[in-house]
């Protein structure tokens, strides 16, 4: 048995092999982190779009229940629950256009972090 040299097949990794393995691992981790960030952003947008749609539908239903003679165009700023809030994420505009039938348009706008503003618009006709 030789003590000075390792037996064949029992040699360890060299520093260069370890560094290359770490580089490959880091590249893979960077890709996974990028996918995670994109996933988080997509989830936030989806949540905000769903909330904006619900806010527009709620306002539309409210405007359908108001007597036609009292309908006026207006806007408000609300949070995700529809509670008026000056710091709320959503700005809700509604426009009432008189005519043979009333045209009611509800638009909900919001800003995604680091992106352009988005909006959801609903429109309906209502007999006067």
Q: How do the pLDDT tens digits run along the chain, 128 residues long?
A: 555 555 566 678 889 999 999 999 999 999 999 999 999 989 999 999 999 999 999 999 999 999 988 999 999 999 999 999 999 999 999 999 988 899 999 999 999 887 789 999 999 998 87
CA distances (Å), origin 11, targets 5, 7, 16, 18, 20: 9, 7, 14, 14, 18
pLDDT, residue 55, reads: 97
- Return the biggest CA–CA distance within the chain: 104
Reported for 26-32, long-range contacts at CB under 8 A and 24+ positions apart, including other chains, are none
pTM: 0.75
pLDDT, residue 76, reads: 96
pLDDT, residue 12, reads: 81
pLDDT, residue 6, reads: 56
């Amino acid at each position: 048995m030789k003590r000075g040299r390792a037996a064949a097949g029992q040699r360890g990794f060299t520093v260069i092999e370890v560094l290359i393995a770490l580089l490959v691992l880091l590249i893979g981790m960077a890709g996974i982190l990028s996918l995670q960030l994109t996933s988080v952003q997509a989830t936030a947008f989806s949540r905000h779009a769903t909330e904006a749609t619900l806010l527009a539908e709620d306002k539309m239903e409210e405007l359908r229940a108001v007597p036609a003679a009292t309908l006026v165009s207006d806007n408000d700023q609300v949070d995700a629950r529809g509670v008026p809030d000056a710091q709320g994420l959503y700005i809700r505009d509604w426009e009432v256009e008189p005519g043979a039938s009333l045209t009611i348009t509800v638009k909900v706008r919001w800003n995604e972090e680091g992106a352009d503003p988005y909006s959801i618009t609903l429109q309906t006709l209502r007999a006067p």
